[in-house]
């Protein structure tokens, strides 16, 4: 029965815990070149103080590929503050990704999609002819390659670092995470560093940001797309691996390209793990599967009912009851009629022709019932009726008698038979 199964499935879904997001945040206005940008926290489940990390994304729109954007880490004004306002020193038509965090960890508030900076008349916040550089750079080995489940070495020049290093991974519109610092080692060709195995699925856009005691971003950032390794290894992946989630990105509504198209992020864009979007997707998928099963069941049941009420049509044998009789029966238009031998019923021996030769006459009559020769193939339609026929047989008297020699042969005159003794 489908109804009990459906009820049990619904009951199971209702028993699932509904996970709520810790908190969320929104841009109060569209990002604008050299304009003020306000980020506001909504919800009471966060653990202040809050901070936001702004990471340049994509190529610079300035002539000669001048990179005038810096990585910004902005602290909220106080532990009780739920909003922060700062000047966005990015040129128009450039993009950035914002990550909000609290004491729960990096990216706990969620990550925005790549937001687009709109134009304005103010260009005083950056120098379009002078590129900016961080205090130091980190490097990866193999160069410019981040592959799924393939060990990568992150290394730097220790002489340029102040304090402890910190690495984070940022996935636009998805999950941001802390990169664990492994055991440090010194190598002649790659300096000081550690090995990291990215548990990020191939095809994911990933920003790696480095910082030291001077703040996040002091070591620069790297934007890349995660590739697949040569061995097609996915042993490091799990259900908790960082990825671009299917839910709405954090930050609310804001332009994401040069045409002004906006992201669909709403007030529930936060949450470092985006568990709400994941649980909602799972529940929706389960209901969709159950609906598909129900529809398939009813269609199959309806189709089976229609087939059971119909009688199969046999084009060769339309009437099963007459099949044994029709196998030896020819088509109606070619059915042979047997030759009927007349049975003598009346002998007309008393009829005599005018020249002395006797006449014999037989009369026969057949009813509408077929004889034994035609009873083997009966039909549902009435058999053909035969008309009564009278048959008259003429007898020859034989050769003439021989006359003695010398006698004149009498003249013979043949007369037609006289049909005077025919019974009506």
Which contiguous run of DSSP H or E holds residue 276?
A: helix 275-308
The DSSP secondary structure of 48-108, one letter per residue, reads SPPEEEEEEES---SGGG------EEEE-SSTT--EEEEE----TT-EEEEEEEETTEEEE
Residues 6+ apart with CB under 8 A from 307: none
Q: What is the DSSP letter of 321?
A: G
**Which stretch of 37-46, 141-150, 414-423 has the lowest confidence by average pLDDT?**
414-423
3-state SS, residue 201 = coil
Does residue 396 have a pLDDT over 80?
A: no
Give tens-digit pLDDT for 274-299: 444 455 566 777 788 888 888 888 87
The highest-confidence range among 17-31, 65-79, 330-344, by mean pLDDT, is: 65-79
This model's pTM is above 0.95:
no
Does residue 305 have a pLDDT over 70?
A: no
């Amino acid at each position: 029965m489908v109804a009990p199964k459906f009820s049990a499935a619904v009951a199971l879904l209702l028993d699932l815990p509904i996970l709520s997001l810790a908190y969320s945040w929104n841009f109060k206005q569209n990002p604008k070149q050299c304009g003020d940008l306000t980020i506001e926290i909504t919800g009471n489940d966060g653990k202040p103080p809050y901070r936001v990390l702004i990471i340049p994304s994509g190529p610079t729109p300035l002539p000669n590929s001048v990179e005038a954007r810096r990585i910004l880490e902005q602290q909220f004004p106080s532990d009780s503050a739920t909003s922060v306002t700062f000047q966005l020193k990015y040129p128009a038509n450039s993009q950035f990704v914002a990550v909000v965090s609290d004491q729960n960890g990096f990216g706990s508030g969620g990550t925005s999609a790549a937001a687009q900076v709109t134009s304005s008349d103010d260009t005083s916040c950056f120098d379009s002819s002078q590129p900016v550089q961080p205090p130091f750079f980190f490097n990866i080995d193999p160069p410019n390659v981040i592959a799924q489940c393939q060990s990568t070495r992150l290394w730097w020049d220790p002489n340029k670092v102040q304090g402890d290093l910190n690495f984070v991974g940022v996935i636009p519109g998805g999950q941001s995470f802390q990169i664990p610092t492994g055991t440090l080692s010194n190598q002649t060709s790659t300096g000081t560093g550690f090995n990291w195995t990215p548990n990020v699925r191939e095809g994911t856009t990933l920003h790696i940001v480095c910082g030291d005691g001077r703040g996040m971003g002091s070591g620069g950032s790297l934007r890349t797309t995660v590739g697949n390794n040569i061995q097609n290894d996915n042993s490091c992946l799990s259900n908790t691996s960082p990825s671009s989630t299917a839910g709405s990105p954090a930050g609310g509504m804001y332009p994401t390209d040069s045409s002004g198209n906006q992201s669909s992020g709403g007030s529930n864009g936060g949450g470092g793990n985006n568990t709400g979007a994941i649980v909602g997707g799972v529940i929706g998928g389960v209901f969709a599967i159950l609906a598909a099963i129900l529809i398939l069941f009813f269609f199959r049941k309806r189709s089976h009912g229609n087939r059971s009420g119909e009688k199969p049509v046999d084009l060769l044998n339309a009437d099963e009851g007459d099949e044994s009789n029709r196998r030896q029966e020819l088509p109606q238009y070619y059915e042979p009629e047997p030759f009927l031998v007349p049975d003598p019923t009346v002998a007309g021996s008393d009829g005599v022709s005018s020249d002395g030769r006797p006449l014999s006459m037989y009369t026969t009559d057949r009813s509408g019932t077929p004889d034994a020769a035609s009873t083997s193939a009966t039909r549902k339609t009435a058999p053909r009726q035969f008309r009564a026929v009278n048959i008259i047989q003429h007898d020859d008297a034989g050769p003439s008698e021989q006359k003695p020699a010398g006698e004149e042969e009498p003249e013979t005159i043949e007369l037609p038979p006289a049909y005077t003794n025919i019974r009506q």
